[in-house]
Homo-oligomer: A and B are copies of this chain.
Amino acid sequence: MPELRQNYFTKEWVIIATERARRPEELATHRAAKVIPRFVEACPFCPGNENKTPPEVMRTEADGKWQVRVVANKFAALSPDIQPIRTIHRSRRSMAGFGVHDVIVDTPDHSQTMALMSDAHVANVLRTYKKLFDNLSLDPRIAHITIFKNHGGDAGASLEHPHSQLIATPVISHQVRERFHQALAHYDEYGECMFCQMIEEEMTEQSRVVLSTDRFVAFQPYASPTPFATHIFPRRHTSSFQDISPTEITDLATVLRTVLAKLYIGLENPDFNFTLRSAPIEYVGVKHFHWYVSIIPRLTRVAGFELGSGMFINTVLPEAAAEFLRNTKVEMAAGV
């Protein structure tokens, strides 16, 4: 029997279409393993080609070589060199395109992928994210910072070398504003962060939990809009990724890498996005929002119904996806 589920946080309804239900394993890509070289002469992100990128923003070194490197995006969507001046003329509202668009080169190794990295290396990538966050949040022109990864062509990646991106904008999107209003209304009504409530419920029910540690929990959202969408929440209340502690970074690296490895093995290296959903700068410290990592495998296509109604159809039961990922065994990463 098909079921409609409402996302407690966003209030969006999702159709869980059991009549067209697919077993989780049916969504595996069945993609032939591609041999990717560790170094590509023409790749701007490979070691030795550092002069092919825009100026370096920062780097993390290991054994005298860079391990994670941040550069300005050569094809930046926004520019740091203009002022965010707003113009309003009747229905036409615009702002000069101020912003920051950086690329985080996750590793010097062109053939690597985060699912197969060491936990320690993933922790270094996360530390780099935090340093960027810390630096940019000092600029009063910046309202919101989005850090994200596109893995594979269906996820919008145009370069093969493993990398993440950061875009800092002078505005907060309406979607984020709206979600904050809802979360605040909940807090005012119940005196509790709605995400803290959700985490407690997920930990009690366990049916949608993929894995948990003392500090983080990864689960399939109850009203997941797409198959295998996975959220990783810190278990303590904190509104911004900026608040993450050194111990939490180590723990998150293990949880994130393990979830990515389960997707990599279970679904055969699917294209995916992940994004840090953290409070806009002006909301850091609020009691009603809780930051999280959202991982979105790109296994299905958004079609006309979704575009026309704002409602998604999900063909995999979140509980079945969670069980499948729990049962997908991954080896612990070796070495450093």
Q: Which of A's residues lie within 8 Å of B, judged by CB?
A: 1-6, 8, 10-13, 15-20, 75-79, 82, 84, 90-97, 99, 144, 146-150, 153-157, 165, 167, 169-171, 173-178, 194, 197-198, 201, 222-223, 273-277, 294, 296, 301-305, 307-311, 313
Q: Are A91 and B222 in contact (CB under 8 A)?
A: yes
Docked pose: A165 CA to B306 CA in angstroms: 12
6 A-B pairs closest in CB distance? A156-B303, A175-B310, A2-B97, A275-B308, A148-B304, A273-B304
Q: Please state if A176 and B309 are interface contacts (CB–CB under 8 Å).
A: yes
Closest B residue by C-beta to A272: B304
Dominant secondary structure at the A interface: mixed
- Is the CB–CB distance between A91 and B301 below 8 Å? no
Q: How far is the CB of A198 from chain B (nearest CB, A)?
A: 5
Output the residue of A17, A222, A296, A305 with the most chain B CB within 10 A: A305
- Report whether B304 and A173 are in contact in the complex, using a CB–CB cutoff of 8 Å: no
Which B residues are in CB contact (< 8 Å) with A8? 91-93
Residues in chain B near residue A156, CB distance under 8 A: 301-304
| B97, B275, B307: the one within 8 Å of A275 (CB) | B307
Closest to A175 in B: B310
Q: B97 to A308, Cβ gap below 8 A? A: no
Apart from A2-B78, A2-B79, A274-B304, what 8 extra A-B contacts exist at CB < 8 Å? A4-B94, A5-B93, A8-B92, A146-B304, A146-B309, A155-B301, A167-B309, A275-B304
In Å, the complex CA distance between A304 and B222 comes to 21
CB-CB under 8 A from A92, the residues of chain B are 5, 8, 201, 222
In the complex, what residues of B have CB within 8 A of residue A275's CB?
Answer: 304-305, 307-309
Say whether A308 contacts B79, CB under 8 Å. Answer: no
- Structural contact, B13 and A308, CB atoms closer than 8 A: no
B222 touching A97 by the CB < 8 A rule?
no
Contacts of A171 in B (CB 8 A): 4, 6, 13
Q: 11 A-B contacts, Cβ less than 8 Å apart?
A: A3-B95, A17-B77, A18-B97, A91-B201, A91-B222, A93-B223, A156-B304, A274-B304, A275-B304, A275-B309, A276-B308
* A2 proximity list for chain B (CB < 8 A): 76-79, 96-97, 99
Give chain B residues whose Cβ lies under 8 Å from the Cβ of A277. Answer: 308
Complex Cα spacing A169 to B91, Å: 32
Minimal beta-carbon separation of A290 from chain B (angstroms): 13
Contact A10 B174 (CB under 8 A): yes
Contact of A313 among B77, B144, B155 (CB under 8 A): B77
| Contact A303–B4 (Cβ < 8 Å) | no
Residue from B6, B167, B173, B307 in contact with A296 in the complex, judged by beta carbons closer than 8 Å: B307
Determine if B6 and A94 form an interchain contact, defined as CB atoms under 8 angstroms apart: yes
A173-B276 Cα distance, complex, nearest whole Å: 25
Q: Which of A20, A170, A303 has the most CB of B within 10 A?
A: A303
Interchain CB contact under 8 A, B77 and A150: no
- Specify the chain B residue showing the minimal Cβ separation from A149: B304
The residue in chain B whose Cβ has the minimal distance to the Cβ of A15 is: B77
In the bound assembly, the distance between CA atoms of A146 and B15 in angstroms comes to: 14
> What's the Cα separation between A311 and B97 when bound, in Å?
13
Query: Are A76 and B19 within 8 A (Cβ)?
Result: yes
When the two chains form their complex, are residues B167 and A82 in contact, meaning their CB atoms are under 8 A apart? Answer: no
